[in-house]
Amino acid sequence: MIPSSPHPADAPESSTPTGRAQGATRPILRGVFELGRTVVYALLIAGGLRTLLVQPFTIPSSSMEPGLVTGDYILVSKFAYGWSRASLPFRLDLPGGRVGGQAPKRGDVVVFQRPYDPGQAWIKRVIGAPGDQIQVVSGLVRVNGRPLQETPIGMTFDHDAPARSVLEVEETGQDGKSRRVYAGDPGAETENTPVFTVPKGDYFVMGDNRDNSADSRFPADVGVGMLPAQNIIGKAEVILFSWRWTQGRAGGQRIFGFQADRFLRLIR
């Protein structure tokens, strides 16, 4: 006698095709969920780091040559000077304008929101702190009456404009640190200025490419004017890498390439 088959209701769920499909689907769904959660966490961490600690920028102009050139991809430290509405999202106002960190020092290279147009991020070197008197006389920068020491290196060609010859000099700031800059034309109007007194809470900034920089020597609608501390985003620390477009040989084609000698260079 052939035993009767069990009633379908008595059979285990996993023995049915539908049950096996559901059992196989659950691990896949769990894996997708875990992957999605990991990606969200990673994005939140990266966003937090970018908001609070460091932020990358690309150099768009020649004003900081020869130390920084067009196409340099740099890392800016936000925590070096603390945080302000310029370094936080949604331009949040903070008590006293800035919270945490130290004040920028003469010689620091800073990234900031241009006072006249906060939508633009510019980069310059701090020359004068609050209370300082700054003047440029025959191309020499004077801080509180004392000229910064300059040692000529020789004539060279502008990195971004090879047809332009410039005098490269070693300049030593009041911080005792030296850097190479492109000297200005001693007879130019921008190289012979009145005395600027830096107000409290502001900074006087200049580009290292002295004849090719709109900075604190110019009024805010032309250059920078005096730079409010709360407009400073952070301190430029390192060049991660650098890229540029070059002219190809055939048909004037432009070729994208990296500048191999500019990888991982500290910004002085």
What is the token pair recorded at 146? 């004392």
**Other C-beta atoms within 10 Å of 34: how many?**
10
Max Cα-Cα span within the chain: 119
- Amino acid code (one letter) for 231: N
- Residues 177, 236, 168, 205: what is their CA dihedral angle, to the nearest 10 degrees? -80
Residue 105 designated active-site? no
DSSP state of 209: B
Residue 138 designated active-site? no
Q: Which residues contact 39 (CB under 8 A, 6 or more apart)?
A: none
Of 234, 233, 259, nearest to 244 (Cα)?
A: 259
Instruction: Tell me the C-alpha distance between 163 and 146, whole Å.
Output: 34
Of 216, 257, 264, nearest to 71 (Cα)?
A: 257
Pair 211, 185: CB distance under 8 Å: yes
* Catalytic residue, candidates 62, 63, 84, 216: 63
The helix/strand/coil state of 175 is coil
Length of the chain: 268
DSSP state of 12: -
* Catalytic residue, candidates 62, 84, 124, 242: 124
Question: What residues are labeled active site?
Answer: 63, 124
